[in-house]
Structure 1
């Protein structure tokens, strides 16, 4: 952001409005941090910049108005922040950004508007538990660029994946399964997918849904495929989860020894990744699987 002279613009506006550094920085950052921002020694985060712009009475785009490339940089920064909020399940913060950017001229073209609608649908599902409104919004987002669900592009596939997740969360497992099978078919027909994690997420969703439907043989098939992809592409993403799914499926298929071996592998992976939550989950499930049952 330094080349955009954001710090200089903040200082110019602050002085013209006769606002002290202490007053402008209040509940945003420390005054000494604002001083560094104005000097160009530090860069404000996007949430800080939003609040500063609001307090100074100008649109945030003011800081990026000098040329088209800077607008693109701002859009990409917003999208990155939104993706991070989804990853961290910070849906309230995500929703605030969506509603704020809906008013921005920079997000009025089809693709950027689609991105906002997609993430608004995610927020409506997780924040307000409104399945129908969320699904309607996600379908409308896809319809902006593809009305017949044929030859879906990568971004459209991701939105369709979110639709499948919402059906899964609402225990509509058959609908979720159908959607993720369609997505897998779309992905297998495409030679180049930029986000390789998307393929793994779909395999995980298929195995997860099939476990819920007690179709352990097919769940095992997809989770084993996920393990193979992780190994061949040297990826740790969902690696432990796939071993967990395969181990659980094998135990349910009465292959207790093989299943427990894979469950232990999944625990070791989660331990190495310092994923304590998943490590404890597998431990608890393993103990339950070993408990004697009455028939």
Structure 2
């Protein structure tokens, strides 16, 4: 049974009116039939459906409207996810084109508008827009679902995946604005919140990996190398345990840099010698070139 199926809608309406299955079934059909309809294993006859909907304060016309709105919502989310994937692989021109077509549909509800603004900010971040302009978009996006929010104290607040994503990009925007201490404070508060949620959802794990990576870079800029190493090791551990290893080569490079800055060149060289051929293998040759340049300049190592 898919989300927004007939059974889902009947169950939702029944709970809205605080009716048990027995109460809804009374005089229409058996409670077993209600259970089967809600679970998607039985379709009601036209007469039974009309009677159930009348009891639930709706009609087949209104039900069709619910289906129509649900279909529009599913289409929006599918298109938004496509744009998110385009951004992830760096196809920004195509992402911008698709986002333009999403704009009017984003105004349907706050969640859609939040998603649209997050995608818009992500594209602008990728293209190097003014961080302050990006921050304005991100704050507007966050306010769609949490208009009153204490950005200094939220470790006990339950965050949606999208809200956590927005906060993580705010951390990056602070970093780009050279507001490093703000970035660290917000990032550490967000990490505390995510740890307290203890969710095993893949999306939360990816955010934690990215956040730990971002915090390591912030702390490096403050010359807090031991703390930076601790966060990059956290990112590495999360990446390996969750099998989300898209960022692992970059994580290992930052880890190598921290070892160099902490005067452990043996460990640094060991990592760099391992990751350069791996980067070439996975077609990250541009990044491999960056690592080679670093190795030659900082370690006098030719790879």
TM-score > 0.5, shorter chain as reference: yes
Return 78-87 or 146-155, whichever deviates more: 146-155
Q: State whether residues 92 and 127 of structure 1, in contact with CA within 8 Å, keep that contact through their aligned partners in structure 2.
A: no
Q: Structure 2 CA distance, aligned partners of 1:226 and 1:127?
A: 25
Cα separation, 2, equivalents of 1:95 and 1:79: 11
Show the counterpart of 2:112.
112
Distance 1:110 1:93 in 2: 25
Alpha carbons of 1:232 and 1:134: their partners in 2 closer, same or farther (altered >3 Å)? closer
Partner SS state of residue 145, structure 1: coil
Alignment-derived partner of residue 228 in structure 1 = 237
How many angstroms does 1:88 deviate by?
A: 3.1
Is 1:159 the counterpart of 2:160? The answer is no
- The structure-2 alpha-carbon separation of the partners of 1:117 and 1:245, relative to structure 1 and needing over 3 Å to count, comes to same
Q: Deviations over 1:185-206 (max 9, x none)?
A: 1110112134121111111111
* Pair 1:268–1:184, CA change in 2 (3 A): farther
| In structure 1, C-alpha distance between the alignment counterparts of 2:232 and 2:243, rounded to whole Å | 16
Gaps of 5+ in 2: 1-65
Deviation at 1:212, TM superposition (A): 2.1
Bigger radius of gyration among the two: 2
CA shift digits 1:31-73 (9 cap, x unpaired):
xxxxxxxxxxxxxxxxxxxxxxxxxxxxxxxxxx983453233
Deviation, 1:127, is: 4.8
Q: Distance in 2 between matches of 1:240 and 1:125?
A: 22
Question: CA 1:264/1:161 → structure 2, altered by over 3 Å: closer, same or farther?
Answer: same
Q: What's the RMSD between the two structures over aligned residues?
A: 2.5
Shift of 1:276: 1.0
Secondary structure in structure 1 of the residue aligned to 2:104:
coil
The answer as to 2:144 corresponding to 1:144 is: yes
TM-score (norm 2): 0.67
Verify the 8 A CA contact 1:98 1:120 in the aligned structure 2: yes
What are the equivalent positions in structure 2 for 1:66-77 lying under 5 Å apart? 67-77=68-78
Match in the other structure for 1:198? 207
Contact 2:276/2:288 (<8 A) preserved = yes
Give unpaired runs (5+ residues) of structure 1: 1-64
Count how many residue pairs are aligned between Structure 1 and Structure 2. 227
1:89, CA displacement in angstroms? 3.4
Q: Deviations over 1:212-270 (max 9, x none)?
A: 22221111111112222233333322222221111111111111111111222222432
Residue 128 of structure 1, CA deviation: 7.4
| Equivalent in the alignment of 1:88 | 89
